[in-house]
Each structure stands twice: as C-alpha cells, then as structure tokens.
Structure 1
Amino acid sequence: MTPPAATSAGPAVARIGGRDQLARSSVYLMSATVSTAGLGFLFWVAAARLYSPSQVGTATSLTNAVSLIAYFSLCGLNSTLVRFPAAPERRDAQINRALLLVFGVGCLLGTGYLLGLPLYAARLLPVRADPVQAVLIVLFCALSAVNLLTDAVFIGARLAQYNTLVDGVIQGLTKLGLPFLLTGLGAFGLVAATGGGYAVAVLASLWFLRRRIGLRPRVLGGGATGLREQLGFSAGSYLSSLLNLVPLLVLPLIVLQRLGTAAAAYYFVAFQIANLANAVSFAVCESMFAEVSADESRLVPVLRRSARLLAVLQLPAAVVLAAGSGLLLRLFGGAYPARAQGLLVVLAVGTVAVALNTLTSFALKLVRRMAPLVWSNVVYAVVTTGLAAAWADRGLVWFGYAWGLGNLASGLVAALALLRTRLPAVHPSPPVPPAPERNPQR
C-alpha cells in the first residue's frame, strides 16, 4: 500500500541538474523508502518474535489506520507545496500554514476514527476505552501527517537526501529500538513504538529545514502564498488521494473482520514487504513531479525518461521479490511463510501494475487533468474493494489479485486520458527566481 519545497529552485536549477537530477532524486527517494521499509521489516520481524500473532494483528490494524489517516490529513497540500511554491519572501508562511492545517486535520480525523470504531472495527474498542492510549493515537495521526508534509517540502526543494536521513535512518532506528522496551504494553507497545518514530522524525525534519533553508516559524506574511489561489488543484489532488487510500484502509478491515487478527498480521507483513518493490515507482514519479514543477518546458523529456527508468528497474524488482518471497517470510518465523507467501508473490507481480498507475497518475497531475485523475481513482477504489469483498472467503491470496487488477484498471484509464492530452501544448509557468541561501546557523 502505498502513494507522494523549501526554496523554489526554478528552471535554472533544473537545467543545471539536467538528466542527472531526476536519477539523483530518484535514488535518494528509493533509498529513503528502501531503508524505511528495511528497518520497518526488521521492526515487524522483532514484533513477530516478541508478540503473539493476535497482538501483531491488532497493532497492524491500528498502525495502518494511523498511517492512512495521515495521508487523509494532507488535504492535497503536499502536491501543492511542490507544484506551486510561493515566492521566497512568502515561502515560510506557506509552509507553516500548511503544517498547522495538516496537524489540525490529523487530530480531527484521528478523533473521528476512534469515535467510529464500533461501526467498522469493534475489536479495537479497548484502545478507545483507555484515555491515554486514545490521546496518543490522535497525536500519532497528526505527527505522521506533519512528517509526510515535511517530506514533500524536501522533495520540492530538491533536498531528497534529507528524506533518506530522516525517514530512512532516524525514524527507522527509533522505531526499531522501542518494541523491546514496550512489551509490557501488549499490542499498544508496537503502536507506541511507531508513534515515537513519527515524533522524532518531525523534530528532526523541522531542525533540518531550519538549518538548511532557514525556515522560520512565520505564519503571517504579505501577499499570496498559493494555498488559497491553488485551492482547485489542492482539492482535486486531495479527492484523488482520498479515493486512492480507500482500498488501503478497507482491505485490512475486510481481512480483520472476515479472516481474523492472525490473517491481518499475515496480510500486513506481505504488503509491507511488497512496498520494497513499489519504492521504485514512487521514487521515480515523485522525482519526475518535482523536476517538471521546477520547469514545465521539460515535461515531455522528463516523462519519457521516467517511463524508461521504470521499465528498466521495476520488472527486475518484481522478479527478485517474487523469487525471494519464501526466504524473506522465513525471517518472521511461525506460520508466516506458509500463510503469506502466495499473497506476497501475487503482490510482487502486481507492482508492475502499481508502476503503471503511479506514472500515469503523476503525469495527469502535472498537466492538471484533475477530472480524469479523480475518475481513474474511482475505478481503482471500486475495482479493488469490490473484488476484495467478493473474494475474501477464498483466502488471502485473492486480496493480492484484487489489488493488482484495481491498479491495472486505474492505470489504463489514466493512460487513455493522458494519450488524449496534447503534452507539448503545456506552457511553462513564469520562472521563479532562485531564493537566496538562508542559513543563519552557519
């Protein structure tokens, strides 16, 4: 399960970076995702050894919900900050307003999730009954959302290496060490470990933004910040994101309710491993989005180069993951190899469909074809959840088929819309002058 600038670099920087900038940013983002997923993999290996399958299943349901609520809380602002950065003198206000808004929405949605547990996850009600755990869940939702938004700021600023450092190293190592200290909390110990990683990542991101680009806690500022002016783009991006997240939220709940907590653990582990391969498409497409946003005149060549990179990298990644699925699952011990390998193989093959869907969706967003983007995600949500619900009683592997077919259908719809778009007709925006280096800490 998956989908993603401090100073505006402008077309000049895009030309300086040239073709290498796309590959460089992609490598950093892949490194961030792979290191995050790798440490997350070790985290769940430790969890499988320290906690029972039932506890792991309960924890994965909660951590998955926190992660998805964070994406729901972004309100499309992650795309807006990259696509339409404010002028340098208003950039602080733009970023800080977005951070405050996302934090507040995260708290509201986290509270709403807990209040609605009787409707869709009655087995998780003990968490809501404990005031401390309930408050922490809400806080974790908000912090995770803020962390995602700071990731977008780094990407737009062409500083993707900080995503690797913050998410791939600092957050991952923090989260990895906490389960050993929190075993007495049961399933919530794993949730608290994940939330602790979010808290540390947010603090580190804000510190690096201050050091690297001089971000100050400024909310007010004269002139437009682009948040209100690009409300339509944000709304379209947000709606498509909401639809994109529906299967990620609904499928684990179907597994939990129809197949039980142990099956939820097997499903979650297989899906997390599959994201190692999905890191390729997400990294390449996020880098493509940042590069074209900096200079729209490079849309066609960057899009073609991104497609070639995906063709070269994604197929081998899928093959390696499918071939090594049994070995990877043996690290978890217990029944994980027997119960989750078939699902993981299907998900590995499905990463090719995910790559198609990701590339075409980012391309539609770049050319501002928001209506086709929304409709492609409607297809994705309906096909994936509908097939999963219809096939749930057949076993876990059928959730993998539903996932792959949903992505394939959505990718084809988006590709058709893209083919009907005259890509060279996209006109570049007026260049934004590069912001002066601001680093008061040096």
Structure 2
Amino acid sequence: MLRTVARDSLARNSVLIMGSTAGAAGLGYLYWLLAARELAQPAIGTATALISVSTVVSMVSNLGLGHMFIQRLPGTGVREWSRIVSAGLLLGCGATVVASFAAAGVLPSLGGNFAFLRSFSGTAALVVTSVALTASTLLDNVFVAHRASHGMLLRTLALAVGKLATLAALTRAGYGGAGVVLLAWTLPSVAVTAYTLASSLPRLRPGARPAGAGLGAELRHVQGSLSGHHLINLAQAGPTALLPVLVTARLGPEANGHFYVAWMTASMLFMVSPAVASALYAERTNSAAAGLPRASAVVLAVTAPPALLLFFAGDRILALFSAGYAAEGELLLRILVLAALPDAITNLVVAHWRSLGELRRCLRLNLLMATTCLALTWLWLPGTGIEAAGIAWLTGQTAGAVAVGLRFLSTRRKAPAG
C-alpha cells in the first residue's frame, strides 16, 4: 500500500494534502477543546464569529490566484516564477486588506451581532487574521503546483502546533477573552508565513527571490484568473465560509459557537475530496495522466471509516468539549456526515471539468449548489436552529450531484454507438 502511494503521484500528493488538512484539523480540534475548557462561551462565540468573517474576506479577496499558481508555475524559469509568486502574494494580500476594512465598515450596520467590529481592536484583528489566511492559502498552492505537498504538510503542522502552544501559554499565564483566541490563532500564521518566504520557497525553487518588477505584467493574468477560476472558487467555497456568518447573523455568536464545533468536526470528511481534486488538477497541469476512477477510489477509501465513526459516535466526540456542545450539535453532525458523499462527487467533477477548460460548466454547477444552500439556510435558521444549516448544505450538495448524474446520462445518450 505504502509503495503504491509512493509511486503514484496522484495518490501521494492527495495523501499529503489530506495529511496537511487532517493534521491541522486534529490539532485545531485540540485548540478549540482547550479554548472551550479554559474560556467562557461568549468569548468563544465572538472569536469564532471573527474567524468566520476573516475566512469569507480571504476567500473573496484572494482573486483565484492559488489556481493560477497551479496552472502557470510548472515549467517556468526562475525569474518568471519569482514574478508570478511575488505579484500573486502582493495583489492577494493587498486586496484582502481592502476587503477587511470594507467588511468592518459594513457588517456592524447590518446586525448587532457584529458590533465587535466597530472597535479598533476588532478591525485590526479582522485585517491581520484575513491577510494571514490569504497568504497561507496562496503559499500552500505554490507547493501543490509543484507536486511538493510535503512542504504544505510541514507548513500546516508547524502552524497548527504553534497555535495550540500559544493558546496554552496565554491561558496558563492567566489571560482570557476572545482576544486571546485570536492572538493565538494569528501570531503563528504570521511567523510561519515569514519563514516560508525566507527559507522554504528558495529551497522549493532554487534561485527564486521576491520580485517587485513586472507587477503590471501580471495584472492581465490576474484578470483572467478573476473572471475564471476565482468565480468558480467563490461559488464552491462560499457556503463553507458563509454558513458560520449566517448562523451568527440570524442566531447570534453563542449559537455559532455550537455550530462551529460540529462543522469543524465534520470537516475531516469535507477535506478529503477537495484534497484529491487539487492533486488531480495539479497532475493534469503537469501533463500527467490521472483519471476520475482512480481519484474516486482514493476518496472512498479515506472517507468511509471516519464517516462511520462520526455518524455513530459523533455525540461522544462533541461531548469532549462539553455536554452542551453534544446536545446542540449531535443531529447537525449526522446531517453533515450524510452530505459527504454528494460533496465528494461534485468536487471531483469540478476538478475534472476545470482541467478540460470547461469553466462555465464548473461555475454553473457551483452556483446551483451555493444558491440552494445559502438561500435555504437564511430562510430556515430562525425556525429550525443550527440544524437548518446542515439540512441546507445537504440539499445543495445533493442537488449538485443530481445535476452531475443527469449530465452524465445526457452525455452517454449523445455518444455514438460502437
């Protein structure tokens, strides 16, 4: 088994990407477990609300540059490589700063649950956290582009360990409140990003160095990424990032704390198919043969065991936080587990279509799922509670999987016989 993974580039990079996400999720689980035990629920609710907003801001403002890296970096010379990466990081982080200030100015006027963004400290935390997320996302995609996902794994583990260690140190020193959670979340991100820029990237691409020249020449490529890959990414990742924000807006930060823990627990399932999809796309941009059946087999083998565990023992896992988290999130977690199968189908199909250049088809599918999920979540939350977000997510993913199935049947009927 290990020899097969080592020889198969798709399997190897899929496993490394999943390992990165799993390591971050596992250590992140300990992070939130420690926070839940050491800090009051209102502080957790406020911190998760701000991190949720930062995730949305970063997602909106990274301009689809990660997929542009995967598409353009393989095979480029050192000077062009340096220009592409430097311009991407500068433009992505700059756009994130602008979007952060815009969010801090708009969200408090839309609902009292975001009043914490009116303060200088709240705005500063939003800007720093959002920029750190954007830089981390883009740097991860640089490693994926070169099928060097071990670099992403080391970065992610260092980041997760740093967050946990910082939180433990601050709480042991007697500090409390939402600011502690955010400080422990953000400081390691800044440190690991700085180390990656100074040390890891030069090892990945010997001779590469930051390049300010040629920024204008990259704007054309960024515009193409913005109108293509970025719209697909927004429609695909939008519900993932927006659901906690909608829960906060409709039910408040405390309810979002319960939702966030269940959502984070289920994320160990939702990380698998995006990881394999990214590896599949990277394989094809590097002119390697990689098919959907092989990618599907990897997803099924990795997803099935944890899905069964979460479905039948999820309440006991949530109870590690407290009995309240288990009582509030048990049903939601089971609903999210059921959504893992249609989610995997749509993620792999989008990666397949993206590699074939069928970007409009990708966008239409993702828009169908996103619109269904977000609209139903907004309508159902007040009357149903946090379970509404899970039901809406399951409904949106199922609608996408059904659309893929209908497309497949239509293509088979049109195919010439023989």
Structure 2 gaps of 5+ residues are 413-418
Identify the residue that residue 238 of structure 1 maps to in structure 2. 230
Q: Work out which of the residue numbers 212, 215, 230 in structure 2 matches 1:219.
A: 212
* Aligned-partner Cα distance in 2 for 1:48–1:222: 44
Distance 1:243 1:193, change over 3 A: same
| Partner residue, 1:80 | 68
Query: Match for 1:196: what amino acid?
Result: L
SS in 1 for 2:349: helix
Identify the match of residue 346 of structure 2 among 354, 357, 360. 357
Corresponding residue for 2:85? 95
TM-aligned CA deviation for residue 113 of structure 1: 1.0
| Per-residue CA distance 1:331-367 (angstroms, 9 max, x = gap) | 1024011111111111111111211121111112111
The 2-side partners of 1:316 and 1:405 are apart by: 23
The Cα shift of 1:224 comes to 6.9
Aligned 8 A contact 2:54 2:126 in 1? yes
2:278 is aligned to 286
2:415 equivalent in structure 1 = none
Q: Which residue of 1 aligns with 2:192?
A: 201
Partner of 1:367: 356
Give the Cα separation in 2 of the matches to 1:52 and 1:166: 30
Residues 111 and 230 of structure 1: CA distance in aligned 2, closer, same or farther (over 3 Å): closer
Q: Deviation of residue 259 (structure 1)?
A: 2.6
Is the Cα contact below 8 Å between 1:53 and 1:261 reproduced in 2? no
- 1:150-198 per-residue CA deviation (whole Å, 9 max, x = no partner) reads 000000111101111111x211011112224166351122122111132
Map of 1:28-427 to 2, 5 A cutoff? 28-85=16-73, 87-89=76-78, 90-129=80-119, 131-167=120-156, 169-180=157-168, 181=170, 184=175, 186-206=177-197, 207-214=199-206, 215-220=208-213, 228-229=220-221, 231-295=223-287, 298=289, 301-392=290-381, 393-414=383-404, 416=406
Check the 8 A contact 2:57/2:99 in 1, yes or no: yes
Deviations 1:133-153 (A, max 9, x none): 422321221121011000000
Separation in 1 of the partners of 2:285 and 2:217?
19
Identity of aligned residues (%): 26
Aligned length: 400
Offset of residue 221 of structure 1: 5.3
Checking the alignment, whether the CA contact within 8 Å between 2:116 and 2:122 is kept in structure 1 is no
- With structure 2 as the length reference, what TM-score do the two structures score? 0.89
What is the TM-score of this pair, normalised by structure 1?
0.84
Once the two structures are TM-superposed, the CA of residue 396 in structure 1 deviates from its matched residue by: 2.0
Contact 2:57/2:96, CA 8 A, preserved across alignment? yes
Aligned-pair CA distance for 1:330: 1.5
Conservation of the 8 A alpha-carbon contact between 2:276 and 2:295: yes
Q: Alignment partner of 1:197: what SS?
A: helix
| Cα deviations by residue, 1:12-68 (Å, 9 ceiling, x for unpaired) | xxxxx9961111111111110000000110011011111122221111110111122
Distance 1:165 1:418, change over 3 A: farther
Supply the AA of the counterpart residue of 2:287.
Answer: D
Q: 2: distance between equivalents of 1:328 and 1:366?
A: 38
CA contact (8 A) 2:108 2:118 kept: no
Structure 1 distance, partners of 2:6, 2:71, is 19
**After superposition, what is the alpha-carbon deviation per residue over 1:68-98, rounded to whole angstroms, capped at 9, x for unaligned?**
2222222111111102226214111111111
Structure 1 runs not aligned, ≥5 long? 1-16, 423-442
Q: Is the 8 A contact 2:372 2:395 kept in 1?
A: yes
CA RMSD, 1 decimal: 2.4
Return closer, same or farther for 1:155/1:400 CA change in 2, 3 Å cut-off.
same
Rounded to whole Å, the distance in 1 between the matches of 2:111 and 2:196 is 33
Q: 2: distance between equivalents of 1:40 and 1:25?
A: 22
CA pair 192-417 structure 1, distance change in 2 beyond 3 A: farther
Letter in 2 for 1:372: R
